Structure 1
Amino acid sequence: MRIAVVGGGSTYTPELVDGLARLRDTLPVSDLVLVDPAKDRLEPVAGLARRILAQQGHPATVTATSDVEAGTAGADAVLLQLRVGGQAARHQDETWPLECGCVGQETTGAGGLAKALRTVPVVLDIAERVRRTSPDAWIVDFTNPVGIVTRALLRAGHRTVGLCNVAVNLQRRFAGLLGVPPEEVHLDHYGLNHLTWELGVRLGGPGGADVLPRLLDEHADAFALELRMPRRVLETLGVFPSYYLRYYYAHDETVEELRTKPSRAEEVAAMERELLRMYDDPALTAKPALLGKRGGAFYSEAAVALVAALLGTSGGQDGDGKPGSNVQVVNVRNDGTLPFLPRDAVIEAPARVGPDGAVPLDAPAVGPLQAGLISHVHAYEELALQAALHGGRERVFKALLAHPLVGQYDRAEALTDRLVAHNREHLAWA
């Protein structure tokens, strides 16, 4: 089986390779191709990938190339994990919105829009090349903003599923509290990418007993501390919000905090420099502990499980006892799952995944606190996608005006000017 990773020079990649080595029975990979234009990153990452596989006795070969067509030719699956503009662009995304009193973050708000504008055209170009070289390949998108990028790919007719590691992290967090293996925990995880709530936590599968009320009752103080929200907010919601909801529920407080500390991009850039130095060491044969601080925890488990289900190698059985498929949280076409959104919206939800793709499971009732915000952000995402596909200052302004983290016309005007100024080299229309 041939797997290509576009953005293979990412410091995340050894995490993925470690998972491929450990989970070889789930996904039997014979060829791993790392594709990246940055040779200074690609070579040390590929070298470590080869040593990790060799150390664990995995027979797969690792090829490194900057050529997308050559790298994806004959691939069964293509993973996208790229960052257009690198950490330098991310640093801009996290700083200039603060000048206008708005959250600076790389996947949501004005910074998230900037990333979408830079990323969607590049991803669509790569996907068209994949379609020419490997028309039957599945494209797994881990590139942020995952919801918008996945929707762009689906709208262009590509075989694609989006992936985020928020749900798999929460699954393991809850499993630890319950004292059960992670695979026994099913999440009623619904919303949009980076805008999700756990509406239930079920033991044994989608039809299992919901233990979320018990978890919230027994661990409310710990959850509130982790999420940096008052306990009363959790009690009012009655569900478990992802940590990204703090940008919405405590926007102004978050802005003031972000103004007083270095950007996450600066921290990550320093970490990446050290990781690449470590990857260059021929004595290193395993992913270093520092990688755990980089983010993307359990990315490898989620990615391997998803690709294996799509390619039919997992031999899995979902919680309803249907063989040959797995229930996993992915970014997928809505198709009526959340009835208040259009059918072609991309939602993040548990889905039955198999060789024919991903089909979301029926959702429990979504309350107005969640449904209202989901609808609001979906409207922004539609306008953001139009801006990414067609360009133009007016489309950018409309998307910002629609975003609940912006909303005011004077802020939207100021943010539009800054977004265009900081991203001109990546915007063909600017």
Structure 2
Amino acid sequence: MEKSSIVIAGGGSTFTPGIVLMLLDNLDRFPIRQIKFYDNLEERQKQIADACEIIIHEKDPDISVLATTDPEEAFTDVDFVMAHIRVGLYAMREKDEKIPLKYGVVGQETCGPGGIAYGMRSIGGVIELVDYMERYSPDAWMLNYSNPAAIVAEATRRLRPDAKIINICDMPIGIEDRMAKAAGLKSRKEMVIRYYGLNHFGWWTDIRDKEGNDLMPKIREHVKEHGYLTDAEMESSQHGDESWMQTFSKAKEVYALDPDTMPNTYLKYYLYPQDEVAHTNPEYTRANQVMAGREKEIFSECNQITANGTAKNMGLEIDEHASYIVDLARAIKLNTHERMLLIVENNGAVKNIDPTAMVEVPCIVGVNGPEPLVMGEIPQFQKGLIEQQVSVEKLVVEAWIEGSYQKLWQALTLSRIVPNAKVAKQLLDDLYEVNKEFWPTLN
């Protein structure tokens, strides 16, 4: 198999080491000749990339490594762009979360007002990466997992409709890992699923093993009682991340609304927003937890590797969820026709909603990219929720393109998480004030 050249766009991200370790762990399946790191924040990237270079060369000294802030250097001679950028870093995520909470509204990085604010920052950054790729490596594919994926996907559909970009998310992968455990399987890859929705806004309708046996009854039984908590988590007195434990437990209440399907965990923000506000400390949100936790830990670990000149005994771990990125790259490169859950233009995959909606559905992936599978017509409950959320995402992108204050106000008003148009306007004014450096000028 011909070796690939990869650029990780967002080289200074704390997720980058986990992705590098995952790539190195899969060299037998997906050989690599070159890994580049690209970021517009040189000092931040240097801390991550210097450590990653040591890790890479200890694993395979033949892999070429380059860290740069120069787009031409980064995007020339690459087969895949793996993009996970965060415009405004966690300092802006903190504002995305805390400003809505002032009004008793959910503060979350991809859902509701916080997701809309983040989307308005992300669109320009992702479009810039697409343009660099098309200029310097026009045959490359971008595997984009920059959030908020739904808004970014709609923006790329509108603004770069012919770009070779696939928008992806690892949240369903994590949930499927938990379903597999509930069904008594070793791996989610032993399951064949049917799913429809939008990113962070979807439902599983059918889950079977490779022999075609229906796994839904067993999974339903587990989720009805425990949500997506695993047996090990329920038995342990020391839960890992309390925020995520609460999310996985809450799935049982989301599931109760439609027991014929299995829900994405993020639906809790739209269906039980008051509970999320009640559980959140407005002075210390998820962004604060991450900044005090993973941000410090990853940079400290990377600096330690660089100081020691070796990655032996390091504390960094493989990002197992990111293994689907290798599966996706392999599917494109080797034309494997693997079945994967991706974000694509609807075009009839979900028959009774907008054909231009960016839906998340199973696709067959080969050398030409993803081919969506038809999920058919969906029930009225899901149809109503999805059409409302599609309209939110489309209005956000139109607001970004047109610089329209009015359309962004409409988007916020239409979000299920925002109680009314008055609160939507207050939120918009506050969010615009702190985002003027990142958003287009609104008129």
Q: Same fold (TM over 0.5)?
A: yes
User: What is the deviation of 1:366?
Assistant: 2.6
User: What is the deviation of 1:138?
Assistant: 0.7
Q: Write the mapping of 1:18-417 to structure 2, written as runs, cut at 5 A.
A: 18-57=21-60, 59-155=62-158, 156=160, 157-177=162-182, 178-204=184-210, 208-223=212-227, 227-229=248-250, 231=252, 233-238=254-259, 239-259=261-281, 262-271=284-293, 272-282=295-305, 283=308, 285=311, 289=315, 297-312=319-334, 324-363=336-375, 365-417=377-429
Deviations 1:192-222 (A, max 9, x none): 01112222212118xx333112211245212
Q: Are the counterparts in 1 of residues 227 and 251 from structure 2 also a CA contact under 8 Å?
A: no
User: What is the deviation of 1:30?
Assistant: 0.5
Give the AA of the match of 1:220: K
Q: Taking structure 1 as reference, are residues 368 and 209 closer, same or farther at Cα in structure 2, changes over 3 Å only?
A: farther
Give the AA of the match of 2:146: T
* Secondary structure of the structure 2 residue equivalent to 1:256: helix
Give the AA of the match of 2:69: S
Deviations 1:77-116 (A, max 9, x none): 1111100110000000000011122111111101111111
User: Is 124-133 or 46-55 further displaced after alignment?
Assistant: 46-55
Deviations 1:335-382 (A, max 9, x none): 111122222211111110111010111215532222211111011111
Partners of 2:376 and 2:311 in 1: CA distance: 45
Q: TM-score of the superposition, structure 1-length normalised?
A: 0.90
Q: Are the counterparts in 1 of residues 9 and 85 from structure 2 also a CA contact under 8 Å?
A: yes
Q: Taking structure 1 as reference, are residues 91 and 410 closer, same or farther at Cα in structure 2, changes over 3 Å only?
A: same
Deviations 1:164-207 (A, max 9, x none): 111211222222232333321122222101112222212118xx
Deviations 1:135-166 (A, max 9, x none): 11111111001122122223312111111111
* Secondary structure of the structure 2 residue equivalent to 1:404: coil
Partners of 1:233 and 1:266 in 2: CA distance: 27
How many residues align? The count is 414
The percentage of counterpart residues that share the same residue type is 28
Partners of 2:432 and 2:313 in 1: CA distance: 38
* Secondary structure of the structure 2 residue equivalent to 1:143: coil
* Secondary structure of the structure 2 residue equivalent to 1:254: helix
User: What is the deviation of 1:21?
Assistant: 0.8
Partners of 1:356 and 1:179 in 2: CA distance: 32
Deviations 1:29-87 (A, max 9, x none): 11111001222221121122222223333631211001122201121111111001100
Q: Are the counterparts in 2 of residues 120 and 389 from structure 1 also a CA contact under 8 Å?
A: no
User: What is the deviation of 1:406?
Assistant: 1.4
Partners of 1:228 and 1:181 in 2: CA distance: 21
CA RMSD of aligned residues (A): 2.1
Partners of 1:202 and 1:410 in 2: CA distance: 46
Give the AA of the match of 1:140: L
Q: Taking structure 1 as reference, are residues 120 and 198 closer, same or farther at Cα in structure 2, changes over 3 Å only?
A: same
Give the AA of the match of 1:215: I
Q: Taking structure 1 as reference, are residues 286 and 47 closer, same or farther at Cα in structure 2, changes over 3 Å only?
A: farther
Q: Are the counterparts in 2 of residues 100 and 411 from structure 1 also a CA contact under 8 Å?
A: yes
Query: After TM superposition, where is structure 1 displaced by more than 6 Å over at least 4 residues in a row?
Result: none
Q: Are the counterparts in 2 of residues 189 and 199 from structure 1 also a CA contact under 8 Å?
A: yes
Segments of 5+ residues of structure 2 without an aligned counterpart are 230-244
Q: Taking structure 1 as reference, are residues 218 and 396 closer, same or farther at Cα in structure 2, changes over 3 Å only?
A: closer
Segments of 5+ residues of structure 1 without an aligned counterpart are 316-323
